[in-house]
Structure 1
């Protein structure tokens, strides 16, 4: 990039979404500047990846770096009911016999650093430790950003497109009051890290384990990372976890008591981090793009972490937005319609994953569903691995609706007979 030459695209935030969108645009030869307020590496939650991240990582030229990393390989997921019974490993390769069915458990401080360095290698002008103060507008059109560096010096950077990838504290979602909480998935989480905790051996070492809490008040994630570290967190309704309870440490200890399967796994382990908590979970923006601007990753929305979809949705939204931006720059069209033309299909795909999350919390019996509709097992697996953007998956959703309607009718009939 020629010194002082105006970038065509400015990206706010250097996490997976920001690094993805900036890298893919730079690959097409456009001038991109990325502004990240932190200096990487920095801590971030969200360590588990699902198989469909493979295809975006391939476009980013990240696969070889991932294969050469110390990240634990993930081949499967397992579920533990409130009785403590462990399911057989759910191997992704059984549904899709391809290299993409092996993914990774990542330490986000390391993964995000790899991603932002990869962006720089592809020609993105990366600024770390530089904070975006505001998005600049000419009428309704975004025209750039105002930034401040570590020395306190401020300047304006003009661009044809502004991408907000600033995470859950999204500048534009707050500026325009676009945040729409999901009342059905009003959850929170409390978590920490242990060294020396139990993990399976061989192929099952990297399995994500989802463990139900007794009484179905919540669930624990159990994610093995490299260096003998395991991420262990509990998710539950906001009110249950955070209202009329003690501090986060006390609540976490109480939930461990309600999940003996987790407590047993960490019995001989050492807690090596403080207790973390977050109370602002599932939401989306009421508008994802405007003239000259677009939201990606958590800046657009976040879905409950039950099926580990966070990094996938960051990468996927970054990829789709990048393609729309490049097409718009080529045509000279950076309108709301052009920059957001990917959003309707993306939201349909996210909605399919959201449906599976909601069904889990409502106690839907997936085992019984598959026994009744064995031909849907592959499509249900596609949903779980993140292959969300196929219309034939809606047949599964329709069948779920039919089963729920039948169950409700049977319940009403039974109640009527008792009367």
Structure 2
């Protein structure tokens, strides 16, 4: 199948959560929209634990009822396990905010992405998978379309706006040299899926579990999904995990053996797929938009998986960017300034999560102690952990947290109670 016309108001590249969101919202506004995906859908991808704040974009997309009716595991909270194996009291989101938005999901991305792809089509976008983007076409510095390859051959498609949602491939950012690796977060991840692991459904659903290894050189996620499947991943410095230690499977097993919080939950489990590896996944871009184009989701940047912010950032960036795209198309002003007007607010909000990630890895984030000294920040800190990063209280929180972390590091603070993060502020 190939595009049905030679020109669109908007072409969206990549059918992950960001691309599907952008395509849906632009098409809903009445503009001709083409969404293209290189792979055949559904396609495999590491499972995701969703932040509760994804609710509001799902509401805009009209997929809440589909999610509620899906087989995805309902996520009701988070639990942390420290380096000694001590488990925090589970924190249930509804104990902080009793609203439907407090319930989220652990999703299998193949099915989840297909749901969003079909939803985009239902709202008027033309959606094509197995369609390769050969080139983003520019007239001087303005994006004017794309060159595609489908089963029917090559096509040149004109577009008033190109939205790059190609994930870490980040076609436009790589072409223009906009991508910047975060030198302080050169991490790597190794993961696989298991069947038969422990599933604690107290509280009406499952929880994301974050566990430190005994030497605190890495941490592991434990995400119960549907069909008795558990996603387990290990994250640490890229050099530590991937250089000079042998095959990834050996490294994964070694780190798992040092992580009592996960190992004991997998005693009766068996691996159901091969390992996957990703590295240096923390990066940003110097520009979010240019004349005729904008970046969303991982094409714009990615921080770290520790707080499960990836899909939320994808959805929220696409939500905000699509509003600017609709405004640009309505006013016939597809300039960089108009298309990128969303980014200042988005960047300001995501900086708080970035700071919290750095605090997690600092070795001095003793949250229980911090909240004891600054009880007024308990609520805002929890807000940030559930995704409310645009709350007005965030600057005041970090005005106190930043110097507190510096002092704790100077005094040799330990990350030993970081497993108590959510329980300490519930």
TM category (shorter chain) comes to over 0.9
Q: Shift in Å at residue 91 of structure 1?
A: 1.2
Whether the 8 Å CA contact 1:46–1:310 is kept in 2: the answer is: no
Q: Report if aligned partners of 2:38, 2:129 keep a CA contact under 8 Å in 1.
A: yes
Q: SS at 1:226's partner residue?
A: coil
Query: Helix, strand or coil: the match of 1:305?
Result: coil
TM, length-normalised to structure 2: 0.94
Is the 1:188–1:279 contact (alpha carbons within 8 Å) kept by the matching residues of 2? yes
1:261 Cα offset (Å): 2.3
Question: Taking structure 1 as reference, are residues 170 and 406 closer, same or farther at Cα in structure 2, changes over 3 Å only?
Answer: closer
SS of residue in 2 equivalent to 1:215 = coil
Residues 407 and 275 from structure 1, CA distance in 2 versus in 1: closer, same or farther, beyond 3 angstroms?
closer
In the other structure, the counterpart of 1:261 is 261
Q: Alignment partner of 2:5: what SS? A: coil
Cα displacement (A) at 1:203: 2.4
User: 2:184 maps to what in 1?
Assistant: 184
- Residue of structure 2 in register with 1:66 after alignment: 67
Aligned to 1:382: 383
SS in 2 for 1:136: strand
1:283: how far off? 0.2
Shift of 1:303: 1.1
Q: Deviations over 1:162-211 (max 9, x none)?
A: 00001101111110111101111110000101000111134264100000
* Cα distance in 1, alignment partners of residues 411 and 201 from structure 2: 45
Give the aligned partner of residue 419 of structure 2.
none
In the TM superposition, residue 402 of structure 1 has moved relative to its aligned partner by 2.8
1:415 counterpart residue number: none
Does residue 169 of structure 1 match 2:160?
Answer: no
Q: Is the 8 A contact 1:76 1:208 kept in 2?
A: yes
Shift of 1:330: 1.1
Indicate conservation of the 8 Å contact 2:47/2:106, yes or no: no
Distance 1:410 1:132, change over 3 A: closer
Alpha-carbon displacement from aligned partner over 1:252-309 (angstroms, at most 9, x marks no partner)? 0110111122111111111001011101310011111100000000111011000000
List alignment gaps of at least 5 residues for structure 1. 412-419
Moved more, 2-11 or 51-60: 2-11
* In 2: Cα distance, 1:114 partner to 1:201 partner: 25
Partner residue, 1:282:
282
Say if 1:146 and 1:154, in contact at 8 Å, map to a contact too: yes
Return the alpha-carbon distance in structure 1 between the equivalents of residues 385 and 273 of structure 2.
Answer: 30
Within 5 Å, give how 1:96-115 maps onto structure 2: 96-115=97-116
The alignment's TM-score, normalised by the length of structure 1, stands at 0.95
Q: What CA distance in whole angstroms lies between the structure 1 residues aligned with 2:399 and 2:47? A: 31
SS in structure 1 at match of 2:56:
helix
Structure 2 residue matching 1:88: 3-state secondary structure:
coil
- Residues 108-127 of structure 1 correspond to what in structure 2 (within 5 A)? 108-127=109-128
1:245 alignment counterpart: 245
| Aligned residue in 1 for 2:40 | 39
- Counterpart in the other structure of 1:94: 95
**In 1: Cα distance, 2:157 partner to 2:211 partner:** 48
Contact 1:199 1:205 in 2 (8 A): no
What runs of 5+ residues in structure 2 fail to find an aligned partner? Answer: 413-426
The verdict on how the C-alpha distance between 1:92 and 1:221 changes in structure 2, with shifts beyond 3 A counting, is: same
1:410 shift after superposition:
5.7
1:332 positional shift:
1.1
1:334 aligns to 2:340 (yes or no): no
CA deviations on 1:331-352 (whole Å, 9 max, x unpaired) are 1110000000111111111110
Report if aligned partners of 1:20, 1:60 keep a CA contact under 8 Å in 2: yes
Residue of structure 1 in register with 2:416 after alignment: none
After the TM superposition, list the runs of 4 or more consecutive aligned residues in structure 1 that deviate by more than 2 angstroms.
2-6, 201-205, 404-411
Looking at structure 1, the residues matched to 410 and 237 of structure 2 have their Cα atoms a distance apart, in angstroms, of 28
What RMSD, in angstroms, separates the aligned Cα atoms of the two structures?
Answer: 1.5
Aligned residue for 2:273?
Answer: 273
Say which SS state the counterpart of residue 100 (structure 1) adopts: helix
Number of equivalences: 410
Which of 248-257 and 390-399 deviates more?
Answer: 390-399
Contact 1:205/1:224, CA 8 A, preserved across alignment: no
1:187 to 1:359, Cα distance in 2 relative to 1, 3 A: same
Equivalent in the alignment of 2:7 = 6
8 Å Cα contact 2:6/2:156 also seen in 1: no
Aligned to 2:85: 84
CA separation in 2, counterparts of 1:146 and 1:291? 18
Query: Structure 1 residues 133, 409: CA separation in 2 closer, same or farther (over 3 Å shift)?
Result: closer
